[in-house]
A = this chain, B = another copy of it.
Amino acid sequence: MIGIFDSGVGGLTVARAIMQQIPGYDIVYFGDTAHTPYGTKSRDTVIGYTLNNIKFLLNRGAELIVIACNTASSIATAQVLKQFSAPIFEVITPAVELAVQTSKNLNFGIIGTRATVTSGIYEKQIIEHQPRARVYSVACPLLVPLVEEGWLDRAETAMIVKKYLRPLKTRQIDTLILGCTHYPLLKKVIQRKIGKRVHLIDSSISVANRVNAFLAANTGIDRRLGRNGYLRLFVSDVTDQFKKIAEMTLKTKITFECVRT
């Protein structure tokens, strides 16, 4: 199975992108809703949660892991690669590579959680590809709770998005990385506020592309993955609200299985 995890239900945008690009693969998803959000927490805490989540997915039969959380990807990838031998994908690198191919003027914007922005991972990777790049990052900590409330089309959300994007508007960026798996749900308002000439890089789509290319090149692993179009959703806590957002993201009725981790 393809194992996917996130701090909560935001990472279902990645599951959705994978199901659209390589339909039919069996997926086991874990949302760590008992500890959500990660983006406001410290490095050590996020690393600890991430290691637990990967162990859980491997125990459930995952052969390949996707870290569908920018905060965990930013902070814990190095540790994770040391500790596990299964193929593990994170959302940062594919987004950076796509952004670098997309930008003409090498002015990049990054939006993400406070933990992701503080990690500096996007700047570092972009500069490795393009030493002349200029990278402007803004932490947008209120966007996760706004998405989790389902306030996607509200005037208040548009106002807050506008406020967060203001420092990027003056920087002539032509490419903006949505550095949090919740943000694809706000794509419309972000595009409206940043202006239609700026390319948005959706990390859920770029990581799904990456998994797709990997499986095409690694048929041994590909053959081990089930293809019954099966999606099993585990969470560490269930509430009606988590269910509502999950159904909004996947556009279908879902059932969660709750596990104490």
The answer on a CB contact under 8 Å between A45 and B237 is yes
A124 within 8 Å of B by Cβ? no
The answer on a CB contact under 8 Å between B156 and A146 is no
B residues less than 8 Å from A146 (CB atoms): 142
Q: Contact residue range for chain A?
A: 20 to 34
Chain B: CB-nearest residue to A145:
B145
With a 10 A CB-CB cut-off, give which of A35, A145, A155 has the most chain B CB atoms. Answer: A145
A17 within 8 Å of B by Cβ? no
Question: Contact string, A36-59, partner B, CB cutoff 8 A, digits 1/0?
Answer: 100011100100000000000000
Known: A42-B239, A241-B114. A145 touches B141 (CB 8 A): yes
A-B residue pairs in contact (CB < 8 Å), sample of 21: A33-B41, A34-B35, A34-B41, A34-B45, A40-B241, A42-B237, A42-B238, A45-B236, A45-B237, A114-B239, A114-B241, A141-B149, A142-B142, A142-B145, A142-B146, A142-B151, A145-B145, A156-B156, A156-B160, A156-B163, A159-B159
Residues of A at the B interface (CB closer than 8 Å) are 33-36, 40-42, 45, 114, 141-142, 145-146, 148-149, 151, 155-156, 159-160, 163, 236-239, 241
In the A-B complex, the 8 residue pairs with the smallest Cβ-Cβ separation, listed nearest first, are A145-B145, A45-B237, A42-B237, A41-B237, A42-B239, A34-B45, A156-B160, A156-B159
